[in-house]
Structure 1
Amino acid sequence: MFEHFYQIETFFQDRKQYGVKPGLDRIHKLLELLDNPQKKINAIHVAGTNGKGSTIHYLNHALMSNGYTTGVFNSPSLEGLTGHILLNDNKVPEKTFIQYVNKIRPFIQQLDEASNHPTEFEIITAIAFLYFADNADIALVEAGMGGREDTTNCFNPILSIITNVAWDHMDFLGNSIESIAYHKAGIIKGTRPVIIGEMNVDATTLITGEARKKHAPLYAAGEAFQYTVTDITATHQTFQWISASGNRLEVTIRKTGVYQIRNASLAIMALMLLKGKGFELSWHNSLNGLAAVQVPGRFEQIHTRPSIVLDGAHNPAGVQAFIDTLTTYFADVEKHLIFAAFKDKDLKQMLENLEPYFSTVTLTTFDHPRAAGIEQLQKFSSSRLTLYQNDWQEAIKSISLQQEHACYFITGSLYFIAIVRKYFEEIIDL
């Protein structure tokens, strides 16, 4: 029996030896041993290359504003093991997490003895379903990687959302948009509605075909619903949301990136469908919930004078969204970039897109097996003004708090953004 959380952390560190193993056999066996908690909850499944976490944030706050107790399972976590599992926006308490690990441990050992070792992520996923079955009115589950063979694809959702399809995780998902879309489309379930965001024709065609095959009603951005931006200020952005059936809403969200309007629009379509399924939702409460959302690590301004912005732009599509927001809000100011990313990302494309927008670019690294080192990053930098710093904390300390009119942007891997954000929490009140 585990008694202390440091024992839990050691246990999960040890499970890393089993790596990332796509496939659903182990998670289904583990959940079956636990009496299938995933069948005891109302849950929404969200997949996509970018925007999953933000879409869930908007949905989560709208539902909480209507009095629902919401569970959120997200990956990666910005706040350690317990940050993967939230109830009404609060991390699962460490004491509760220990209790669930102790409950699940005998079944993990049973599978280990059969040489069918559950991975770290599979165990955390199973704990999330147990916790939500005991506590949540509705759960919002973020797919880890892809969808079809992702660990989270082990339940029958009340509806699914695919935010977008772009290049990422090609080693696992394939080297074509169609292949990546095929994996995302795997979360579509028979007769269950699916909402899809803006994506190219090839991805849309494949996902539409999957929905048709599964007899799943499809609600596509630009067809079932659309939005028109009406106002952007220094602190907020407002848009009109319109459904094909004639519903109109005036929506205001915080200034967290122009791309967040797309994510909020997907959440509104989901709320419309939930209302049609009998969920008691007030639009007044829902819109208040949407307006209150601040997505951590997504174009998050954590300091002013000078401005310091964190953004988890971890692939080329994310970088383009970051640049779109950058040029909207910070067009005429001096800009500096600090960047670190995983080595299996398209570093060349990301840096080519980023470097022209900044007065200086500092490339750094961090402690993670997948982190790109300085030598690798140097190969892809084409700017003469690029700086290199092996110690990311030293790179952060180089930010001049005296340059009130300069802006500093820290981007790259979400894992990197998480540790940077934690670092700033210790020196400023986020």
Structure 2
Amino acid sequence: MNYQEGLNWIHERIKFGIKPGVKRMEWMLERLGNPERNINGIHVVGTNGKGSTVSYMRNALNRNDYTVGTFTSPYIETFNERISVDGKPISDNTLIELIEIVKPTSEAMELETDLGTATEFEIITMMMFVYFGALKPVDYVIVEAGLGARYDSTNVFMPAMTVLTSIGLDHTSILGDTLLDITRDKSGVIKPGVPLVFSVKDQTSREYIYKVLEDQQAKGIELDRDIILIPRNGEFQFQYDQYDFQDIKLSMVGRHQKENAALAIAALLELHEQGKAVLDCNKVIHGIEETSWPGRIETVSTDPLVILDGAHNRESMAALVDTMKRQYGDKEITVLFSAIEGKPLSDMMQILGEIAVSFNVTDFEFPKALPKAEIFDKVDHPEKSMVTDYLSFIEAFEGDLLLVTGSLYFISEIKQYYNKKDTES
């Protein structure tokens, strides 16, 4: 099997859709000797902010000379980055090796059980557990959940720490129509005695989480209750327990990034307090400040100014628009947007329209991508248009600022385009 054949086999799983539940994962992991039991893991779940929070923690641990594996999705530049060590994607040969390990197990499950076929995400999750639990032990593995939490394929290991970044109305067709429905799902990752660092704004959701924490005899560490974040002129002060850090200045912009960073710092300090990590606090903060994450208010061109952001639901779009108003309020912003199925388009378009001088929609090659005409119908803006060839549109742009946003899968396409341009220049 070569690399492309291996990728094709993984991507063929997309046709089996999303099948919430962990029984298939448990069967396959047991068949492989339960590698997930060997990792020293941190589980990161939430509607928004997971990828950035993973990156903050990874960088801070690296600064303290720990080797850190990460599992993230979706990928932005290369498929291999979904399984990385110290920020470096696994090699093509390693990916092939992992596929050759999990493929027979996946096929055996189809033949020997009535559990059905493993999904694409389950296969990739299996590969991650095999890699870090059997082939490449590391000091810590930071595991980002995919869709949801309780029935997500990552929810099959006992972490040292759990982080819940946010709760919002996303994937409602699967997780439920209300914040409480989604909170019930997210709370399914709270394990007995495992601390939860979290940020939840909705009072009913917070009360539910505290009830689950009490039932599981787990410590809850909450932003704005236990963790205090005080913004000051682009920097912020962080307070938790006896810790007080002044003048933290992030590389990533936006109030939401300060919150993600605060959660990451608190989770690491709690690990330190429990004796599960030995950390130099100065190195933690330096690592946090240096952190960047592709596709999050990322400048890919300065002349003209082009910014990418994967705002793919109501909450992340509101955070993006708030940040753009604060950082680029003096610019005329042209928007290029695309999305996949299952998103609250009307709300997202209304929020994004607040900063758009012109609103352009397009579509891209992806199984769940929405046709541009369907998106166009949801846009209520006096200057709106449909773009057929989005790369030509970007090439021809000569305005003040082009904001390319929407699906992370779409952002990935644009990011790869700019990477290719950089390579050729």
Residues 274-313 of structure 1: pairs in structure 2 closer than 5 A: 274-278=271-275, 279-313=277-311
Residues 141-220 of structure 1: pairs in structure 2 closer than 5 A: 141-220=143-222
Contact 2:376 2:385 in 1 (8 A): no
- Residues 255/153 of structure 1: CA separation in 2 closer, same or farther (3 Å cut): closer
**1:99 CA drift (Å):** 1.1
Contact 1:198 1:222 in 2 (8 A): no
Contact 2:252 2:291 in 1 (8 A): no
Tell me which moved more, 337-346 or 247-256.
247-256
TM-score (norm 2): 0.96
Structure 2 counterpart of 1:99, which letter? Answer: E
Structure 2 counterpart of 1:275, which letter? Answer: H
Corresponding position of 1:258: 255
Structure 2 counterpart of 1:43, which letter? Answer: G
Residues 51-200 of structure 1: pairs in structure 2 closer than 5 A: 51-114=49-112, 115=114, 116-133=116-133, 134-200=136-202
**1:302 CA drift (Å):** 1.5
- The one-character-per-residue Cα deviations of 1:283-308 (angstroms, maximum 9, x if unpaired) are 12111111111111011112213221
Corresponding position of 2:245: 249
Tell me the secondary structure at the aligned position of residue 117 of structure 1: coil
TM-score (norm 1): 0.94
Structure 1: how far apart are the matches of 2:396 and 2:169? 33
**1:350 CA drift (Å):** 0.5
Contact 1:56 1:140 in 2 (8 A): yes
- The one-character-per-residue Cα deviations of 1:141-192 (angstroms, maximum 9, x if unpaired) are 0110110001111111111111111110001000010001111111110110
- Of the three residues 401, 410, 422, the one matched with 2:416 is 422
- The one-character-per-residue Cα deviations of 1:257-286 (angstroms, maximum 9, x if unpaired) are 331000000000011111112211111211
Tell me the secondary structure at the aligned position of residue 189 of structure 1: coil
Structure 1: how far apart are the matches of 2:72 and 2:327? 28
Structure 1: how far apart are the matches of 2:363 and 2:233? 38
1:16 matched to 2:10? The reply is no
Structure 2: how far apart are the matches of 1:86 and 1:165? 26
Structure 2: how far apart are the matches of 1:77 and 1:428? 19
**1:16 CA drift (Å):** 2.1
Structure 2: how far apart are the matches of 1:28 and 1:391? 44
Structure 1 counterpart of 2:418, which letter? Answer: F
Structure 2 counterpart of 1:410, which letter? Answer: V
Structure 2: how far apart are the matches of 1:203 and 1:395? 43
1:221 matched to 2:240? The reply is no
Contact 1:108 1:118 in 2 (8 A): yes
Corresponding position of 1:408: 402
Contact 1:256 1:295 in 2 (8 A): no
**1:140 CA drift (Å):** 0.4
Structure 1: how far apart are the matches of 2:382 and 2:229? 41
Structure 1: how far apart are the matches of 2:224 and 2:350? 30
- The one-character-per-residue Cα deviations of 1:87-111 (angstroms, maximum 9, x if unpaired) are 1101011101111211222211211
Q: Give percent identity, aligned residues only.
A: 30
**1:254 CA drift (Å):** 0.9
Contact 1:69 1:135 in 2 (8 A): no
**1:428 CA drift (Å):** 3.0
Structure 1: how far apart are the matches of 2:356 and 2:373? 21
Structure 2 counterpart of 1:303, which letter? Answer: S
Structure 2: how far apart are the matches of 1:411 and 1:422? 15
Structure 2 counterpart of 1:381, which letter? Answer: V
Contact 1:256 1:294 in 2 (8 A): no
Contact 1:146 1:173 in 2 (8 A): yes
Corresponding position of 1:372: 370
Structure 1: how far apart are the matches of 2:307 and 2:373? 26
Corresponding position of 1:235: none
Structure 2: how far apart are the matches of 1:390 and 1:186? 42
Residue segments in structure 2 that go unaligned for 5+ positions in a row? none
Contact 2:334 2:401 in 1 (8 A): yes
Contact 1:302 1:309 in 2 (8 A): yes
- The one-character-per-residue Cα deviations of 1:54-74 (angstroms, maximum 9, x if unpaired) are 011100000001111101001
Tell me the secondary structure at the aligned position of residue 281 of structure 1: coil
Tell me which moved more, 329-338 or 115-124.
115-124
**1:353 CA drift (Å):** 1.0
Tell me the secondary structure at the aligned position of residue 233 of structure 2: strand
**1:81 CA drift (Å):** 2.9
Structure 1: how far apart are the matches of 2:388 and 2:31? 46
Structure 2 counterpart of 1:88, which letter? Answer: D
Q: CA RMSD, aligned part only? A: 1.4
Structure 2: how far apart are the matches of 1:13 and 1:266? 33
- The one-character-per-residue Cα deviations of 1:300-355 (angstroms, maximum 9, x if unpaired) are 11221322110010001000000110011011111111100113101111001111
Structure 2: how far apart are the matches of 1:399 and 1:81? 29
Residue segments in structure 1 that go unaligned for 5+ positions in a row? 233-237
Structure 2 counterpart of 1:35, which letter? Answer: G
Structure 2: how far apart are the matches of 1:183 and 1:350? 23
Corresponding position of 2:47: 49
- The one-character-per-residue Cα deviations of 1:38-63 (angstroms, maximum 9, x if unpaired) are 10011011111100110111000000
- Count the aligned residue pairs: 418
